[in-house]
Structure 1
Amino acid sequence: MALKELEVRYATTRAKDYKLTDGEGLYLLVRPNGSKLWRMKYRYGGKEKLLSFGAYPAVSLAEARLRRAKVKVVLGEGGDPGASNRPRAQMTFEEAARKWHGHRLNALDAGMLRGC
């Protein structure tokens, strides 16, 4: 059965996480700390996957349903909606090390100027 806006708004905290399902994989995860997170389960390539749509009330019930519909379109076209949401930074280990070293060197130089 589909969720109603009032059910989402007045969902109370419990000792453990619990889910309020909306259907077609979309649910609201209610955490013990009071946060309410939109999630969607789907299957791609024979594996179960999970998407996060954001926190309620920043993402409303209507917006979460729109995002679910977009995911269903991508799945219908044979794509993996989770892969398109993650930007992949192609950085080698050497590039990361040089970047870290550059930041660290600047911090050390600043400390030397202050007399540390």
Structure 2
Amino acid sequence: KVLWGFLRIKGPQNEKNSHARRITPLIDTKVRTVKPAKKPLKLFDGGGLFLLVTHPGGKLWNFKYRFEDKEIKLSFGSYPEISLAEARQKRDLARNLLAKGADPGVIKKVQKETGLQETETFEIVARDWHTKFSPSWAESHATKIIRRFELYIFPWIGSRPIKSITAPELLAVLRRIEAKGILETSP
């Protein structure tokens, strides 16, 4: 089990017998020059990130984490397409999502299914949605909807990448609107 950059060795878990080994972060030279062995080889970088080196010579970045008491492995892509620095950024983003109570694997799956890009903000997606559906609405209704987004939602989460917004954050924005009593009034 990896905790805070330390690898816990299996065995009795008490104060006297607790053994921990420091995980040395990977360096690019090691990643680039590692040769495949007969069995798959895992090179750990810390924080759940590791490089899986397979027998044919493939090098795959993986992130191992626990969510709701289940151990889950998330793939970030292969080396050299994904560099060590990029893999660390993806790991850090996944750890931030975990800290907010979101499962990074589920978020990645939803993004893949919906085709959302990492750079798409909430405002871009909301305006695309509005453009797609507003022709079937009355003009006054379409204007009212986009105006409400501009006044009450975009200032808080409009500039954020849509993939980084969690359900609790969105609920907080909606509760803020509800607290102001803006449910059915026009702007």
Which has the greater radius of gyration? 2
Unaligned stretches of 5+ in structure 2? Answer: 1-23, 114-187
Q: Larger % of strand: which?
A: 1
* Structure 1 residues 3-27: Cα deviation after superposition (integer angstroms, max 9, x where no partner): 0000000010110101000001100
User: How far is the alpha carbon of 1:56 from its aligned partner?
Assistant: 0.1
Structure number with higher relative contact order (C-alpha < 8 Å, ≥ 6 residues apart): 1
1:19-98 correspondence to structure 2 within 5 Å: 19-87=42-110
* Length-normalised TM-score, structure 2: 0.46
Q: What TM-score results when the alignment is normalised by the length of structure 1?
A: 0.74
* Two-structure CA RMSD over aligned residues (Å): 1.1
For 1:51 and 1:66, locate their aligned partners in 2 and report how far apart those are by CA, in whole Å. Answer: 14
Unmatched 5+ stretches in structure 1? 90-116
- Measure, in 2, the Cα distance between the counterparts of 1:66 and 1:13: 25
Equivalent residue letter for 2:98? L
SS of aligned partner of 2:39:
coil
Quick one: percent identity of the two aligned structures?
45
Q: Following superposition, which runs of at least 4 residues in structure 1 exceed 6 angstroms of deviation? A: none
